[in-house]
Amino acid sequence: MQEPWVSLTHLERMTDDTGLLEHALGRIPRRREGYTTDDNARALWACVEWLGAAPYPEHASVLRRLTDRYLSFLLWAQRGDGLFHNNFSYDRRPEPEVPSDDCLGRTVWALALAWTRLPEAELRLPAGEMLRQAAEHLPRMSAPRGWAYALSACCLLERSPAWREQAPASGPLSAEGLGSLVRDLEGRLLGAFRKASDERWLWFEPQLTYGNGILPWALFRSYGVTGNAEALDTARRTLDFLTKRMTSPQGWVRPVGNRGWCDRRSQALWDQQPLEVLKLALASLEACRLLQEPAYRETAQRCRQWFHGENDGRVPLADPLDGSCCDGLTPAGPNANRGAESTLAYLLTEALLAASGREEVSADGTNLAAISDRALLEVPPQPDSPAPGLLMGS
């Protein structure tokens, strides 16, 4: 499998001595709009993934320096009660907000990944301490995406012998508490699916909105810990449902638009967000790892192709020369701004595919990545995209 060529130039451009800035005008950081913990947690995740994928040794020193920066930001953003403040102005002042389950879950996931993947004890130390301080809030979360991130983090820690040896003596992240919390969070997602779904609507909520792929992804991960057949079945059914909704008739990825989202009656085509493509790739790669079915890897590869022009606009959104990505696809074409969230969605998609290409060999020795790459090379040229501004019927 040929490795993708990815630059970290734009990620460095968007990062100052405090952390990752949220927005850009074109490719230039908008300093006055400040920082978010969400983006710095995503950035930590991306650095850890790229350090694991390691396709470019020359990037290692940059990635380690950025990892330090993002860990430092998260340590600063954690409040005395263990929650994380999300929004900060450029002068480092916290902006008014209500605490967010999504922010908490996303940050806990990034910290758990850092603790289990980074070899340096001096980096695991702050990650572990932040996890311990945040732990008491995890059972109180009420938002499904927060549950999903926290569930995935707990699964990582539950399967880590090193964490179990050093875990707190009591509480949600203790050796005993982790198993209970995994089952509880898994049960909440399954309960949401039973409540919202029917024979035609196989989803956890009445609408497909944002970050959708994170929900089946978490259940695939929890199945690896609990062995709950209902979790695996629900993960597969919801991912297949989501993939169908996010695939155009011509075969390329079509994210659910944020100008109306998607329900049983209609689906918005615009604007399409890079974050949605990342989350579909994330869930698809997890499904391929568990189920050993090349079709899921092909979906993840099509997610990568979306960034490079296989989309409704027939235009690249990502620029490998500096590692930046446009903030969305609109009826008029790409949004020219290249902020943190979209750039990280691109970098993470590339990192996940690079890492999975080394891992995915089936039980009979078949290289699933090679099969998928050959299949994608055989896809014929696609016709022009449909007219913009369309609301697609379900």
pLDDT digits (tens, 9 = 90+) for 19-30: 999 999 999 999
Domain range list for the chain: 8-358
Whether 73 shows a pLDDT value over 70: the answer reads: yes
More confident residue, 33 or 383: 33
Q: How large is the average pLDDT for residues 3-17?
A: 88
| Pick from 229, 108, 214: nearest CA to 157 | 108
Positive or negative CA dihedral for 68, 70, 76, 80? negative
Q: What is the pLDDT of residue 4?
A: 53
Q: How large is the average pLDDT for residues 90-97?
A: 96
- The tally of CA atoms less than 13 A away on the side-chain side of residue 41 is 28
Mean per-residue pLDDT over the chain, rounded: 89
More confident residue, 189 or 373: 189
Q: What is the Cα Rg of the chain in Å?
A: 20
Where residue 88 falls (left for φ over 0; alpha for ψ -120 to 50; beta otherwise) is beta
Structure tokens at 373: 């790459």
Q: What is the pLDDT of residue 100?
A: 94
Q: What is the pLDDT of residue 64?
A: 93
Tell me the C-alpha distance between 172 and 138, whole Å.
8
Termini Cα distance of the chain: 37
Give percent of the chain with pLDDT exceeding 90. Answer: 82
Fold of 8-358: Glycosyltransferase (1.50.10)
Other residues' Cβ atoms within 10 Å of the Cβ of residue 17: 6
Contact 87, 34 (CB under 8 A): yes
pLDDT digits (tens, 9 = 90+) for 334-348: 999 999 999 999 999
E strand map for the chain: 24-25, 28-29, 35-36, 87-88, 266-268, 318-319, 324-325, 329-330, 333-334, 391-393
DSSP designation for 88: E
Element (H, E) at 144: helix 144-158
DSSP designation for 95: P
Positive or negative CA dihedral for 212, 217, 218, 219? positive
| Cα distances (angstroms) measured from residue 66 to each of 41, 51, 238 | 12, 11, 35
Tell me the C-alpha distance between 367 and 374, whole Å.
11
